[in-house]
Amino acid sequence: MLLATTLVATKHTGLKIRTLKAIQFLAGLFAILFTFALINEFVTKPAAGKHRPFVIKLEKEGLLIGDELYGQGNKPKRTRFLEELFAENANHPLIQSVHPLVRRHWEVHTGFSFPSGHSQNAFLFAMILGYLIGELVSNGKRWIWVPFVWAGAICLSRVALGVHSPLDITIGALTGALIGGLILKLGLLNRLIQEEKTQE
């Protein structure tokens, strides 16, 4: 986000204009990412109601019932539920095979699985950053693929950690790219990167 903000700011001349554009861009970007993250977390995911892969794995091992976990109500209660489960079954082969940091990740990420919010926001941001690199960096069109490699790595990490399935990240990435494409198509970034000069 700082890289994207810097690209927008350096397009302009004068400290005041640069500062204003940087603030406008950063605030707008944060608002967009935060809004879609909230919609995904509190509307889309609960509507789909898909259990996370690690929950399904624990269920297959007979360590829990997925509906019982999600029936705990809110995330803090689900976190406590998993903490107690892992403590009580510390000697189970599956629990022992999972790195403590990954188990901690599972304890925190107890929401529903579909689609992946990380993947959605990663590709939404990659669309915006790729556009800025292409437009504002000298020979930038040669480097617009870099944000998408970063976004793809985030998607794959979600599968590797067991918190999302390939379908989760695919749909998340596609929706993020579509939202980002719509933002670009509507020209919402044009006003921020249109060069303005000051008398300083």
pLDDT tens digit sequence for 75-120: 889 999 999 999 999 899 999 998 999 999 999 999 899 999 999 9
Measured distance CA(88)–CA(118) in Å, rounded: 31
| Mean pLDDT within 113-142 | 90
Cα–Cα distance for residue pair 70/61, rounded to 1 Å = 17
Place of tokens 């879609």: 36
- pLDDT reported for residue 200: 39
All structural domains of the chain with their residue ranges: 1-50+114-194, 52-111
Residue 196: predicted pLDDT: 52
Which residue has better confidence, 137 or 108?
108
The number of C-alpha atoms within 13 Å of 126 and in the hemisphere containing its C-beta is 26
- Provide the pLDDT for residue 198: 42
Give the model confidence (pLDDT) of 145-200 as tens digits. Answer: 999 999 999 999 999 999 999 999 999 999 999 999 998 888 877 766 665 544 43
Q: Say whether 64 sits in a helix, a strand or coil.
A: coil
C-alpha distances out from residue 95 to 4, 61, 99, 100, 182, Å: 41, 10, 8, 9, 43
DSSP label at 71? T
Taking only the tens place, the pLDDT of each residue in 8-67 is 777 777 888 888 888 888 888 888 899 999 999 999 999 999 999 999 999 998 898 888
**Can you tell me the distance from the alpha carbon of 67 to that of 29, in angstroms, rounded to the nearest whole number?**
36
The pLDDT, as a whole number, for residue 199 is 40
pLDDT above 80: residue 126: yes
What is the average pLDDT across 111-133?
Answer: 93
Give the per-residue pLDDT at 135. 81
Q: Among the residues of the chain, which ranges form H helices?
A: 2-10, 15-39, 45-48, 53-60, 66-70, 75-88, 93-97, 100-108, 117-136, 146-160, 166-185, 190-193
pLDDT for position 193:
66
